Structure 1
Amino acid sequence: MISLVGIAVADPIDDFMKSELTRTKSPSLVVGIVKDGVLVKHEVYGKSDLEKGTDAKKGDLYEIGSITKQFTAFATMMLVEEGKLKLDDPISKHLEEAPKAWEKIKIQNLVYQNSGLPDYAFEPGIGLADNFDRAKWMATMTKLPLDFEPGVAWAYSNSNYALLGWIIEKVSGSSYMTFMKERILKPLGMNNTVFSAPSFTSPHRTTGYLNLNNQFTIAPPSTASINSDGTIMSNIEDMVKWDAALRDRKLLKPKSYDLYLKAGTLNSGRWRPYAMGLNVSLPGAEPYYGHGGNSVGYSAGYACYPKAKISVIVMGNVYAFGGEPMAKQIAEMYEPSLKPIAPAIKTDPDSKRTDVLKEALAAIGNGKADDALLEPEVTASMKTRRAGMGAAGLAPFRNIEKLEFANEMSVGKDKLLTYKITTKTRDFIGTFLWSAGGKLAMASLRPDGPPKTG
């Protein structure tokens, strides 16, 4: 509650966060909102430790999972600036274990997540909760075929950032954690930020949980077998300093920042809304970068709107919820102008194209990599293990009730199309890259209203 001249006024963000405690089943949540470089809201909710009944408090430490990747990419760009690395270096130049199958993979394929490397997190014995060393990781991963040829498609894989950590060690001559502490964390004053490990203890460390059938279990501690893809542990106060570094462009030269925040491109020349460890906005949208993070027992999210000068950081001690969507929703509550406006339906200039798009979406919903409807960058990414995990969420597109045209703009030879999508379970606003060859080259969806009931 906010007290204003003796009158208690409800804070909608507080109300939202309390409702999110219930929805996410996280024992605690913490939020930080930055406006014009100032931390204007910092609140905590719930319990940092259920067994002890400890209330969450400011300064508590949470693992931030894959938000770690943007730090690793940042370190990579530092080494590029120093001439110790080139983005077009083959990774075999810096990794003696690299097999012949990896010979076409370059550093840029790792940072932009388009290498084709399978995600090690799905492999028995070297998963996120397993204890292993580099030799075991390499022995497992070097035997696996690539999911696709480097640069053909975008597919999120923790393996990319695992390798970047080892490359940073090779070319810097320091351990990954030492490099990060000395070159990034200390200069930015992020003195409370550490790398999670079983041996790390602190009165500020929250307890991470797994929620299994509504029963909380203390999550096993991070094994720290690999640090560069997701083991940073931080708090709101330190993450505000990281946000300031990106906003004020500290520690890197302007040209390096331009690359760091620029969407990566595929062999086809088409972009994907992913920069170096950061999701970025689509053409024509409000400028944005951010990312979510999940680790064993924790979830987090970071969302930054640089033009509006608003950033949001959220953290929780349960696996797993979508931290980035939560952070974006809070930003939209704080600054309503950030909320995307539902596009107006217009007369469809090409109804035949819309019919083919509907077929393409149905193919995706059915998990069918149809080369007649989908460009290679779509079909290749559909065949990965991670895509299989998310297949259930695409089921509504098997039977779209309405696909209504709203807008189009040219992007090179292609068209960026916007549609309102009506399904039985939920409505969406879809943005689609439609190739000059008449195929779907990219799909981006956001919910248009809550799930339907009944």
Structure 2
Amino acid sequence: MWRLLCLVVVTPLAASTKLDELLLEVARKKSAEYNCSFSIAVRTPSGKAAVASGVVDFENAQPAKESDLYPWGSVTKMFTAASVMKLVGSGKFRLDDAIAPLVDDLLGKMAAKDPSQNFSSVEELWGADLAKTTLRQLLSMQSSIPDFDTATPSKGGGISKDPLRAELYTTPNHFYKPTELMSVPWVANHSKDCQAQPFVGKFCYSSTNFMLLGMALAQATGVDSWAAFNQTAFLPDYLQNQIRFANSGSPKDAGSVPGYDRTSYNRAPGNLSNHNNWEVEGVFAGWTASNVVATAAHIADLSWEIWKEHSLAPEALVKQMIPSAMHIYGMGAFNVGLFSGGVRGPLGQGYGHLGATYGYQSIVGFFPALNVSVAIATNIETDKQVQTPDSLCFTYHAVAGLLMNKTFDCKFQTMGYYGGRCTCSETPAPSGSASHAAIV
């Protein structure tokens, strides 16, 4: 357990200097604990800060830098959702519109040009009932459309299986197009029974949903193929040259740091991998579900623009993305406050997205009570992605303490794949602590 002793904000410069110190201490401790790189960025009303610690390239002992680029995996979904909301706001479509009419024209055009694409409509893939799936259901992870991701954690101590991962590693130079992933045998002509689950409500995670949403965006913008869709155009101007979207190639090709798969998938129990995925093109499998590449600072900016400035989509529609207090997912957004806020009430409210792809895990969150945006990237993938919510717990409360002139005692407990429990309590600041800040 760490004690966070923090100063009140006096001036933007002082806040920035102190914030850098606090974040760097978190990054150093967590990079040592998890033996990986951490890139942490924060944006507050008083300023910004970005730090990095650890090793990004273990083969060459290359240290982490704040300017390092990372694949952010499913953080892309938060951006895709905001892009959909932008077009809903402009009247292109409605949240309760069925998906088929919004994508079938594009699917037909692509099929006419690509003989390997063996379908030209949603109904051909999943039947008439699933063709009626709405944008709202797709955004909320409440559809019956299967996920292309085959990761299946073992619940009884056996081998955790992931046949798609094995295939991606066997053919690292093959980039799966979204239409390929939509038509693989375990996705095409299949459906799943999406029912409410204990504690999290109705929640059936599927990255296929967000590829379909990407198709809807592409058709609405008038292009004739998925690859011609310009995701960058939905960004604020100042981020358009900073955030990239990988439609081909590997993390190395995208300028990213190496990333290491340290999971137990396809291995004997207790035998972890250490696979370097820097040159594996399957890292970006999923397109508008998982292809964003950026620094932590620019992802913190993206979160700020979506949730605070509402520059991507109208405020009324962005508010609909926010998860309810006790639900794990809203529309393109996780309830990160549920497992990383650490306190009850407004201070613990937060929303954003987890990012997990082959060899990389990350998290981004916006906390409205203090108007704080936090983005954290790591260059490892672990079975329970514990390192990202763990570090978010301490990062957010370091910032909260600084802004509120309070002291928090925090601890983090792993709870499962979608996070853990961050428990923090306010404690009286020791006498004389107002002249420094420390994590002890």
For the criterion TM > 0.5, the same-fold answer is yes
Aligned to 2:211: 162
1:263–1:255 Cα change, 3 Å: same
Q: Is the 8 A contact 2:359 2:380 kept in 1?
A: yes
Cα displacement (A) at 1:166: 1.7
Quote the Cα distance in structure 2 between the aligned partners of 1:25 and 1:49. 12
Quote the Cα distance in structure 1 between the aligned partners of 2:62 and 2:228. 30
Which of 421, 429, 433 pairs up with 1:446? 421
1:193–1:154 Cα change, 3 Å: same
Quote the Cα distance in structure 1 between the aligned partners of 2:314 and 2:373. 22
Q: TM-score, normalised by structure 2?
A: 0.66
Q: Which runs of 5+ in 2 are unaligned?
A: 1-13, 105-120, 152-161, 169-174, 264-270, 339-343, 425-440
Q: How does 1:8-407 map to 2 (within 5 A)?
A: 11=21, 13-26=23-36, 28-36=37-45, 38-39=47-48, 41-94=49-102, 95=104, 96-98=121-123, 99-122=127-150, 130=168, 131-139=175-183, 140=185, 141-148=187-194, 153-174=202-223, 175=226, 178-184=229-235, 187-196=237-246, 197-198=248-249, 201=252, 204-211=255-262, 213=271, 216-219=274-277, 220-223=279-282, 224-246=284-306, 247-261=308-322, 263=324, 272-280=327-335, 281=337, 284-286=345-347, 287-320=349-382, 321-322=385-386, 323-336=388-401, 393=416
Find the residue that maps to 2:194 and give its secondary structure. Answer: coil
Identity rate, percent: 19
Amino acid at match of 1:208: G
1:202–1:58 Cα change, 3 Å: farther
Quote the Cα distance in structure 1 between the aligned partners of 2:188 and 2:327. 27
Quote the Cα distance in structure 1 between the aligned partners of 2:365 and 2:238. 19
Amino acid at match of 1:34: R
Cα displacement (A) at 1:234: 0.6
Tell which has more relative contact order, 1 or 2 (C-alpha 8 A, sep 6+): 2
Runs of 4+ in 1 over 6 A off after TM superposition: 149-152, 337-342
Would you tell me which structure has more strand in proportion to its own residues?
1
Amino acid at match of 2:330: A
Q: Is the 8 A contact 2:26 2:391 kept in 1?
A: no
Q: TM-score, normalised by structure 1?
A: 0.64
Amino acid at match of 1:143: N
Find the residue that maps to 2:233 and give its secondary structure. Answer: helix
Q: Which runs of 5+ in 1 are unaligned?
A: 265-270, 343-389, 395-443, 450-454
Quote the Cα distance in structure 2 between the aligned partners of 1:446 and 1:201. 34
Quote the Cα distance in structure 2 between the aligned partners of 1:129 and 1:165. 24
Quote the Cα distance in structure 2 between the aligned partners of 1:203 and 1:162. 20
Amino acid at match of 1:167: A
Q: Is the 8 A contact 1:193 1:232 kept in 2?
A: yes
Deviations 1:91-117 (A, max 9, x none): 222242232240442110011111133
Cα displacement (A) at 1:182: 1.7
Between the two proteins, the alignment pairs up a number of residues equal to: 338
Q: Is the 8 A contact 2:221 2:229 kept in 1?
A: no
Greater C-alpha radius of gyration: 1
Q: CA RMSD in A?
A: 3.8
Find the residue that maps to 1:65 and give its secondary structure. Answer: coil
Aligned to 1:426: none
1:203–1:195 Cα change, 3 Å: closer
